[in-house]
A = this chain, B = another copy of it.
Amino acid sequence: MNSARPELGIAVIGYSFMGKAHSNGWRNVGAFYPGGPTVAQRVIVGRDRERVDAAARQYGWQESATDWRAVLDRADVDVVDICTPGHLHEEIALAALDAGKHVLLEKPLANTLDEARKLAASAAAARDRGVSSMVAFNYRRIPALALARRLTAEGVVGEVREVRAAYLQDWLADERAPMAWRLRQEQAGSGVLGDLGSHVVDLLRFTLGQEVATVSGQLRTFVDSREGERGPEEVTVDDVAWARLGLSGGAIASLEVSRMAFGRKNGLTLEIYGSRGALSFGLERLNELWVDEGDGARRVLVTEPDHPYLDAWWPPGHVLGWDSTFTTQAAEFVHAIAEGREPSPSFEDGLRVQHVLDAIVRSSDLQQTVTLEGEPT
C-alpha cells in the first residue's frame, strides 16, 4: 500500500501499562483519524531485552531496542514517546528535544519543580527550532470532558463559582497491600498527589480556562508502613490529598485524591456549578456528561456526531472505552505537527500543574493558605 502522505516514525520508551496504552494509540490512530501523516511504529525501547522484544511483537512495533540513546540517533525516528517513571523524564526528554525529536511525555511532567522548569524551558527553546512537545494528559481527550470545556467556554453554565473534583481509587485501602516503588518518595516523587492530583489540576485548567491562584492543601498517609520484600518498610508518600484552590476567575475548587477510597476503582469525578448551569462527569461512565440548565440535570450520552472527536468513531450510542483517549491523543499530536500548530497541553501546561502540586505540599506543611506567584518560569 503506497501513500504520498508524509510519514512519522515513532519510538516509544517503556512497555508496561503506559507503554501498552500508548502503543494502542499509535496502532489505531490512522484508522480513526485518517487525515494526518502516516504513523510508523518504528521501535519500542525497554531495559529487558526479552520482554521488550515480546512487547514489540505484541503491540505492533517494527523493532525493539534496549538503549534509548541509540534510538535518538536514528533518522527514521521523528517522535519520541516517553512512558517511563517520572524520575527518568528529565534526562530522556531533554536529550530527545536536543536531538530534534518531537516529544510526547507521560504525566506528570517531572518529579520536582526544578526538573519541570528545565523541561518547560527546553520545550520552549525547541519550539523555536520547529520541534514540538506535549504532555500526555490523556483525559483531555475524553469527549465528555472536551464537551464540558466547550460548554463552559460558550457560557452555558454562566460564571463558574464552585467546582468539586475528586479522583478516588482504592488499591491501598487494604493495609496488607505490599510495599511498592510508587510508595517511596525517592523514586515516585510523590504519592497520589502527583499521580492522580496532576490529572485533576490539569482538568480544572482545561475545562474552566482558569489558573490556580491560591491553595490550601493537606496530605495524609494513613498506612505508614507496609510489608516489603525485606520486611516492614516505611511509606514515604501521601495516600490521600485534599486541597481548596482559589482560581483566577473567582471560582473555588475543592479537590480530593485518594488511593484509600474503598470501592472506588477509577473514581475521577468533576462537578462544575455556575451562575446559570451545572455540569457533572464521572470517569467510570466516561461516555456521559450531565448538563443542568435548569429543571433537572440531563444525562447526555456523548456519542453524537457533533460531540468532540465523535465523528472519528462509531454511530450514536456505541460507547468508547478508556483506551480511546490514547488514540485521540496520538492524533492531536501528529496532526498538530503536520499542520505546524502547537500541540496542547504543552510542557508549560505541565509546569503550571507542577506549581500547583508544589503549593499543595507547602500549604500542607505550613497548615496555611499559600499564594502562587507570577508566571511559571
Query: Which residues of A approach B to under 8 Å, CB–CB?
Result: 1, 3, 17, 20-21, 23-24, 27-28, 30-31, 34, 54, 56-63, 157-158, 161-162, 164, 166, 168-171, 173-175, 216, 218, 220, 222, 240, 242, 244, 250, 252, 254, 256, 258, 260-267, 273-278, 283-287, 291-292, 294-301, 303, 314-324, 366-369
Whether B298 and A295, one on each chain, are in contact in the complex, defined by CB atoms closer than 8 angstroms, is yes
Closest 3 CB pairs of A and B: A266-B317, A265-B317, A321-B321
Whether B316 and A265, one on each chain, are in contact in the complex, defined by CB atoms closer than 8 angstroms, is yes
Q: Name the B residues within 8 Å of A297 (CB-CB).
A: 263, 298-299
Docked complex Cα distance between A323 and B313 (Å)? 10
CB within 8 A of A254: which of B21, B254, B287?
B254
Q: A262-B276, A299-B299 are in contact. Are A323 and B314 (CB under 8 A)?
A: yes
Whether B287 and A173, one on each chain, are in contact in the complex, defined by CB atoms closer than 8 angstroms, is no
Docked complex Cα distance between A247 and B21 (Å)? 40
Docked complex Cα distance between A244 and B220 (Å)? 12
Q: Which B-chain residue is minimally distant from A285 (CB atoms)?
A: B285
Q: Name the B residues within 8 Å of A263 (CB-CB).
A: 273, 277-278, 292, 294, 296-297
Q: Name the B residues within 8 Å of A303 (CB-CB).
A: 265-266
Whether A1 and B319, one on each chain, are in contact in the complex, defined by CB atoms closer than 8 angstroms, is no
Q: Separation in Å of the A261 CB from the closest CB of chain B?
A: 5
Whether A262 and B298, one on each chain, are in contact in the complex, defined by CB atoms closer than 8 angstroms, is no
Q: Which B-chain residue is minimally distant from A169 (CB atoms)?
A: B317
CB within 8 A of A314: which of B258, B285, B295, B322?
B322
Whether A287 and B287, one on each chain, are in contact in the complex, defined by CB atoms closer than 8 angstroms, is no
Whether A28 and B24, one on each chain, are in contact in the complex, defined by CB atoms closer than 8 angstroms, is yes
Q: A27-B31, A244-B218 are in contact. Are A318 and B322 (CB under 8 A)?
A: yes
Q: Which B-chain residue is minimally distant from A240 (CB atoms)?
A: B162
Whether B174 and A275, one on each chain, are in contact in the complex, defined by CB atoms closer than 8 angstroms, is yes
Whether B60 and A31, one on each chain, are in contact in the complex, defined by CB atoms closer than 8 angstroms, is yes
Q: Separation in Å of the A246 CB from the closest CB of chain B?
A: 9
17 contacts between A and B (CB under 8 A): A17-B314, A30-B58, A34-B54, A162-B256, A164-B256, A218-B244, A254-B254, A254-B256, A263-B278, A264-B278, A265-B317, A266-B303, A266-B317, A284-B301, A296-B300, A319-B322, A320-B322
Whether A161 and B244, one on each chain, are in contact in the complex, defined by CB atoms closer than 8 angstroms, is no
Q: A174-B275, A284-B319 are in contact. Are A28 and B30 (CB under 8 A)?
A: no
Q: A252-B220, A367-B216 are in contact. Are A161 and B23 (CB under 8 A)?
A: no
Q: Which B-chain residue is minimally distant from A300 (CB atoms)?
A: B296
Q: Name the B residues within 8 Å of A23 (CB-CB).
A: 31
CB within 8 A of A17: which of B218, B273, B315?
B315
Extra contacts besides A1-B57, A299-B299 (17): CB < 8 Å: A1-B56, A1-B61, A1-B63, A17-B315, A28-B28, A34-B57, A161-B240, A162-B261, A173-B275, A220-B252, A242-B252, A242-B254, A264-B317, A266-B317, A314-B322, A321-B324, A367-B368
